[in-house]
Amino acid sequence: MNTSSSKVIVALSGGVDSAVAALLLLRQGHAVEGLFMHNWEDDEQGYCTSAQDWQDARAVAAELGIVLHRVDLSAQYRERVFANFLAEYRAGRTPNPDVLCNREIKFGDCLAHARRLGAQWLATGHYARILQAADGPQLLKGLDPQKDQSYFLHAVRRADFANVLMPVGELHKPQVRELAREAGLPVFAKRDSTGICFIGERPFREFLQQYIAPQPGPIETPEGRRLGEHHGLPYYTLGQRGGIGIGGQQGLDESPWYVAAKDAHRNALIVVQDTLHPLLMSRSLHTQAVNWLATAPQDTAQLGVKLRYRQQDQPARVTPLGGGGVRVEPLQPQRAVTPGQSAVFYDADRCLGGGIIEQIGL
């Protein structure tokens, strides 16, 4: 599709990927402007990097000679992403706010703002690809398997991809950094951001305790042996190894402990020492309503599924349920399947959509 005569707004985050996206679009002859999103209030501890990211985005825009706009979406973020994040943790699930941020903020409010600025296209630095097909846009994996971000994009409304460009999805990360270095972009060596999008790299339990009060309870083995006391079920996730707070136990070996289950009724954290303990292995799961980016299967279908980011696609039987959810039966038992995370479906390189994991079966 020819976009060279159209205005393109690039969501400039201050990182190297979005900077190279803007560079590539300029080289292709597009009319490019930048848009920086401010999604979280700066904090005194310095974990939020928004201020530095804004300065980096300004430096990139200056080097490229493009206009840079700024929009404050922090109120929308708190209302539609962070509130859900807290509600999920309080309900005993482990949410992925990056998924909701993409749907509600980046390809919701940011896309709408780009249109208000007169743009026909929004471009991002995601490692994924958009194919504008005859029956509608298709979401494909990025070519770099180590950086593919289609998993985090599965919840975006299919129609919102109709005017989206993702130039770096065709590249591998080393190529992106080299392009930035050759072009003299000041962020060519900036390290990738990690951690949850709005939290940054901070102690997670300390952050969560600001919003969810500690509610201590027993740490137990499946047989009911008490090993210690936890700080509150929301602070732990299934499969977690570190940070449980129990050392060597008399009469037990020195093998590491893993979170295997949460007993909300008794406020008990169940832990095991076998990394493949039956309590950690699931043979089936149910999802909430699936956001399909392709025609939804009407009967049981065999698809690939990812139950966590960077997992290899797992072959599974997927059966529609009432309410738009599906039952997923992986051909091999899956470890530490976590309610609140996403089950994302694939047919080879094409992302077909996904849904939040609601319930697991052993």
Cα–Cα distance measured from residue 142 to residue 288, given in angstroms and rounded to the nearest whole number = 26
Cα–Cα–Cα angle for 206, 211, 213, nearest 5°? 80
Which listed residue (48, 110, 197, 351) is catalytic?
197
Please give the span between the terminal C-alpha atoms of the chain, in angstroms, as a whole number: 47
Cα–Cα distance measured from residue 133 to residue 153, given in angstroms and rounded to the nearest whole number = 18
With contact defined as beta carbons under 8 Å apart, do 279 and 263 qualify? no
Q: Which residues pair with 320 in a beta bridge?
A: 326
Cα–Cα distance measured from residue 162 to residue 183, given in angstroms and rounded to the nearest whole number = 30
Share of the chain residues as helix, strand and coil, in percent rounded to the nearest 5: 30, 30, 45
276 Cβ partners below 8 Å, 6+ apart?
A: 335
Is 101 among the residues known to form the active site? yes
Q: Hey, what amino acid is at 182?
A: E
Residue 194 token pair: 């990690």
Is 110 among the residues known to form the active site? no
E strand or H helix at 158: none
Task: Tell me the residue ranges of DSSP E strands in 135-216.
Answer: 136-141, 164-165
Residue 86 token pair: 């807290």
Which listed residue (48, 101, 110, 351) is catalytic?
101
Pairing of β 128-133 and β 301-306: unpaired
Cα–Cα distance measured from residue 302 to residue 329, given in angstroms and rounded to the nearest whole number = 9
Nearest to 358 by CA among 335, 333, 340, 336: 340
With contact defined as beta carbons under 8 Å apart, do 347 and 303 qualify? yes
Cα–Cα distance measured from residue 24 to residue 167, given in angstroms and rounded to the nearest whole number = 7
Nearest to 230 by CA among 265, 264, 269: 269
Nearest to 271 by CA among 218, 222, 225, 308: 222
Catalytic residues, by residue number, are 101, 197
